[in-house]
Amino acid sequence: MLDIDHLASDQTVAFGAGIRRKARDHADAAGCGRVLVLTTPHQSDLGLELAEILGPMAAGIFSKAAMHTPTDVTAEALSHLQDAGADSVLSVGGGSTIGLGKAISLRTGARQIALPTTYAGSECTPILGQTENGVKTTISDPKLRPQVVLYDAELVATLPVEMTVTSAFNAMAHAVEALYAKDRNEAATQLSLDGLAAFRRALPEVLADPTDLSARQATQEGAWACGTVLGQVGMALHHKLCHTLGGALNLPHAETHTIILPHALAYNAPAAAEELAPLRDVFGQDDPARAMWDFAASLGAPMALKDLGVTEGDLDRMADLATQNPYWNPRKITAEGIRALLHRAWAGRPPQA
Ligand code: NAD
């Protein structure tokens, strides 16, 4: 179990199966008045349940949250917020729903309560990515972090197994890149290793019994640790590649992270051997990239970009895009190296430095 109290900051973070039923108390303690509940269309029933739990504090439900926070959806949600006289939002869902809550807060100062239902980690970060006319921009502002985060293991127990695995790899990618981040620090490194160890231990247990709430809570603790480091230190090649592929080819977010992670790790391993050495204790293997690839395979994760509909012909353009703007990475980025990496990830071949 992670030492969360010790690491807690300006956020109230609480864990517990069924803790969503205390959402009203938490909203009250955070100074919320009237609360608009946010969900995706797929999770609108959950929104109804949360509105019921909030009782008289509920100011309605807006169920149109979408991937990459399109600004037209935010505009529609804002008019609901105003019509309902709400001063706060409760986002129950994954990164898309929590992103909408941040976008509303950016424009209105609304208080945010987040109940994550995936492991993506947006609830821990001051980061918001928004899309307008297909162009994604990212901003970071400490005010964007939700004031309250409630991790209810029952809410991730509904995640289908395949999404459980890919969402967990999305989270683990934050921790892996935090280990070799330019601005890394001792606390973030320890948190990254704790987060990775939590997933390494609990994911096989979750797959054996997806309704095991104690294993599910352990994965949420991992998600909290990995999301927290995402908000603290800079990311590098892996995140750049995933954003490039996701943006240009409209690929699913978590699956792309899952496939790319072992390959980005292999690329960077020679330049970050010391920083990555503690992964030996987490995965019990010397080669961290191979360990990550084996772990993904053992969980039945997607392993090849070609299975996401990427064609071999896309790869050169992706390599060019990913190497266009210089950015910090522990190992020098070369177009040739990235092309080779992408070809291996496309074919589902093992990672190689
Ligand atoms: P998501 O929020 O897009 O959800 C994907 C789908 O799964 C949705 O239909 C959702 O309703 C459904 N779903 C979510 N939880 C479920 C559950 N428990 N059971 C059944 N279905 C469920 O997915 P995501 O991967 O969590 O978020 C991706 C988005 O978050 C991307 O836009 C990404 O850029 C963003 N993100 C932002 C940050 C940040 O710090 N700003 C961090 C990570 C991700």
Task: Give the tens place of pLDDT for each residue, 285-295.
Answer: 999 999 999 99
CATH number of the domain at 95, please: 3.40.50.1970
CA distance 122 to 92: 12
Ligand 1 pocket test target in 43, 61, 112 with most atoms within 8 Å of CB: 43
Predicted pLDDT at 278:
98
Indicate if the pLDDT at residue 1 is higher than 80: no
By the 8 A CB rule, do 265 and 176 touch? yes
Instruction: Specify the DSSP class assigned to residue 96.
Output: H
> Rounded mean pLDDT of 10-36?
97
Q: What pairs with residue 89 in β-bridges? A: 36, 112
What's the whole-model pTM score? 0.95
Do 342 and 234 share a structural domain?
yes
Quote the Cα angle for 91-92-94, to 5°: 100
Do 169 and 43 share a structural domain?
no
Ligand 1 pocket test target in 104, 166, 253 with most atoms within 8 Å of CB: 253
- Model confidence at 314, pLDDT cuts 50, 70, 90, reads very high
By the 8 A CB rule, do 115 and 224 touch? no
DSSP for 296-343, written as a single string: HHHTT----GGGGT--GGGHHHHHHHHHHS----SS---HHHHHHHHH
Predicted pLDDT at 262:
98
Determine how many CB atoms are found less than 10 A away from the CB of residue 341. Answer: 23
CA distance 57 to 30: 12
Do 330 and 181 share a structural domain?
yes
By the 8 A CB rule, do 86 and 107 touch? no
Q: State the residue for tokens 């993506």.
A: 120
Please give all residues whose beta carbon lies within 6 A of any atom in ligand 1, as ranges.
40, 42-43, 67-68, 93-97, 99, 117-118, 120-122, 125, 127-129, 155-156, 158-159, 167, 170, 230, 253-254
Segment 203-229, tens digit of pLDDT: 999 999 999 999 999 999 999 999 999
Using only C-alpha atoms, the chain has a radius of gyration, in whole angstroms, of 20
Q: State the residue for tokens 């790899």.
A: 169
What 3-state class would DSSP assign to 254? helix
Do 212 and 126 share a structural domain?
no
Do 332 and 217 share a structural domain?
yes
Last residue of a domain, one of 139, 157, 175: 157
CA distance 113 to 13: 10
Kindly give the distance from the C-alpha atom of residue 72 to the centroid of ligand 1, in angstroms, as a whole number. 18
Do 188 and 152 share a structural domain?
no
Last residue of a domain, one of 128, 157, 186: 157
Predicted pLDDT at 9:
65
Segment (H or E) for 60: strand 58-62
Kindly give the distance from the C-alpha atom of residue 116 to the centroid of ligand 1, in angstroms, as a whole number. 9
- Model confidence at 135, pLDDT cuts 50, 70, 90, reads confident
Do 293 and 175 share a structural domain?
yes
Predicted pLDDT at 163:
97
Q: Which domain holds residue 94?
A: 12-157
Instruction: Specify the DSSP class assigned to residue 141.
Output: -
3 lies in a domain? no
Do 228 and 170 share a structural domain?
yes
Last residue of a domain, one of 127, 157, 187: 157
Indicate if the pLDDT at residue 327 is higher than 90: no
Residue closest by Cα to atom 36 of ligand 1: 95
Do 79 and 22 share a structural domain?
yes
Predicted pLDDT at 7:
45
Do 165 and 50 share a structural domain?
no
> Rounded mean pLDDT of 11-21?
97
CATH number of the domain at 179, please: 1.20.1090.10
Do 289 and 190 share a structural domain?
yes
Which amino acid type is present at position 120?
A
- Supply φ then ψ for residue 92, to 5 degrees: -115, 110
Q: What pairs with residue 128 in β-bridges? A: 139
Give the CA-trace dihedral at 330, 333, 336, 338, to 10 degrees.
Answer: 70
CA distance 348 to 143: 40
Predicted pLDDT at 5:
45
353 lies in a domain? no
Number of domains in the chain: 2
Do 184 and 42 share a structural domain?
no
